[in-house]
Amino acid sequence: MTAIPQERRVVTAIPGPKSVELQARRLAAVAAGVGSTLPVFTARAGGGIIEDVDGNRLIDFGSGIAVTSVGASAEAVVRRASAQLADFTHTCFMVTPYEGYVEVCEQLAELTPGDHAKKSALFNSGAEAVENAVKIARAYTKRTAVVVFDHGYHGRTNLTMGMTAKNMPYKQGFGPFAPEVYRVPVAYGYRWPTGAENAGAEASAQAIDEISKQIGADNVAAIVIEPVLGEGGFIEPAKGFLPAIAQFAKDNGIVFVADEIQSGFCRTGQWFACEDEGIVPDLITTAKGIAGGLPLSAVTGRAEIMDAAHAGGLGGTYGGNPVACAGALGAIETMRELDLNGKAQRIEEVMKGRLAEMRSKLPNGDIIGDIRGRGAMIAIELVKSGTKDPAPEAAGALAKACHAEGVMVLTCGTYGNVLRFLPPLVIGEELLNEGLDVIEQAFGTL
């Protein structure tokens, strides 16, 4: 574990003078299209803390967008990745293979849902994993259509942009997009017109009807869904929705793909979020939390589906890089040893309890329209008082107030009105509560 003191410390304005200087250099050298939530430059990070170049210590409620679940300098990740760095950095698995890649695939077979024979292929980014899941599903089914959902997010490459729902900032001006991608409704309980209790059954019926009538089930290679929708606003599809869609896929020879890039690897208090309703996906895409901050992603699934692509059809120069694989083995070791599923469940308990208390006791608490999520993937949806009208300005103002006080939080949601919390699973409970105190105080600044 890192030596960084696990305490919040604000010693300059945020961003401080050194960050401001670096930001000026960055603006001159880095393309404008690459944004940052908060232009505070990092010096060190670990546990639940990000320390900046000015010596401020921020409580981390972002984990670099759900990546550093084991912390940003976890002992086992650093140890294994450093040893691998010293041995060799790269050979390309497609040229001369190495054991770490195979071991990560073995771990994925063990950890992902279902006891059928499984195989994996490794890549670098989440988007690349999603692209490859589609390639594999198409090769297996010999069909072309891909079904995705309202509020879904799958990445920034051409195919995954097309699969992503939200236009701005992800798609605007970047088309045309890949063909044969079709979007259908998802059971967004909080905003379902006839109420959350009907959302699962009604949304699945609508989605299935649209797939059957507008696309034709026989044309569909894959249905791709996030078991908890991340960028779309931490939407947990209402109960019954995922099982109905998975069953429909099974009945129609469609490959059911769970995109667990954000929700996987203990984030929701289970190894994978789809376990919550007992879903066994045909393919599962993972990235982010898999390797403790090193770039690695995977497609894992039924061996007969994974083997449908011909030799040489999958891969890439860096896919399954040995250092990233070593990092993944260190991250998985940490997750098991520290019982990070249990830690995520405890984070949910603390966070939901405190957020519910804020909603009931704060004078403006009624702008918290919904508190949702699972494990350490928790969000509040902000609305205008007395309505369900989205309040993106409140989400932005709360985030800004938290940043100024040294708490890193992120926003998300189709309407930009969701404040999301993704602390490292190793965060201490005191730090977690202190971060929540700052969020509570931020409501007073609105």
Ligand X SMILES: Cc1ncc(COP(=O)(O)O)c(C=O)c1O
Q: Which residues bind ligand X (CB under 6 A)?
A: 65, 125-127, 130, 153-155, 226, 230-231, 259, 261-262, 287
Q: Which is nearer to ligand X, 401 or 412 (CB)?
A: 412
Closest contact distance (angstroms) between CB of 62 and ligand X is 12
- Give me the least distance between CB of 377 and ligand X, in Å please: 10
Q: Let me know how long the chain is.
A: 446
Q: Which residues contact 38 (CB under 8 A, 6 or more apart)?
A: 14, 15, 403, 408
With respect to ligand X, which residue has the nearer C-beta, 262 or 268?
262
- Ranked by CB distance to ligand X, the top (closest) residue is 126
Label residue 408 exposed, middle or buried (CB < 10 Å: 0-12, 13-18, 19+).
buried
Minimum Å gap between C-beta 354 and ligand X is 25
- CB neighbour list of residue 32: distance below 8 Å, 6 or more residues apart: none
Question: Which one, 127 or 165, has the nearer CB to ligand X?
Answer: 127
Question: What gap in Å lies between CA 255 and CA 219, rounded to an integer?
Answer: 12
Euclidean distance between CA atoms 400 and 9, whole angstroms? 17
Q: What's the min distance (Å) between Cβ of 130 and ligand X? A: 6
429-443 and 392-404 are packed helices; what angle lies between their axes, rounded to 10 degrees? 130
Contacts for 204 with CB less than 8 Å, ≥ 6 apart: 187, 240, 241, 244, 245, 248
Smallest distance, Å, CB 367 to ligand X? 26
C-beta of 15 vs 155, nearer to ligand X:
155
In the complex, what is the shortest distance from the CB of residue 355 to ligand X, in angstroms, rounded to a whole number? 22
Pairing relation of β-strands 49-52 and 57-60?
Answer: antiparallel
Judged by CB, which is closer to ligand X: 260, or 381? 260
Residue among 66, 37, 67, 99 at smallest CA distance from 408: 37
Q: How far is the CB of 159 from ligand X (least distance, A)?
A: 11
Report the nearest approach of ligand X to the CB of residue 363 (Å): 35
Q: Residue 267 or 359: which CB sits closer to ligand X?
A: 267
Q: What tokens appear for 188 in the block?
A: 């967004």
Angle at 220 between CA 218 and CA 226, to 5 degrees: 145
CB of 37 or CB of 445, closer to ligand X? 37
Cβ atoms 148, 154 nearer than 8 A: yes
| Residue 367 zone, left/alpha/beta (φ > 0; ψ -120 to 50; rest) | alpha
Identify which of residues 129 and 398 has a Cβ nearer to ligand X in the complex.
129
- Please say which residue, 249 or 410, places its beta carbon nearer to ligand X: 410
Smallest distance, ligand X to C-beta of residue 300, A: 15
Work out how close the CB of 124 gets to ligand X at its nearest, in angstroms, rounded to a whole number.
8
**Category of 47 on φ-ψ map: left (φ > 0), alpha (ψ -120 to 50) or beta:** left
As a whole number of angstroms, the distance between CA 50 and CA 435 comes to 13
- Cβ contacts of 119 within 8 Å, gap of 6 or more: 105, 109, 300, 301, 303, 306, 307
Minimum CB distance to ligand X smaller for 230 or for 330: 230
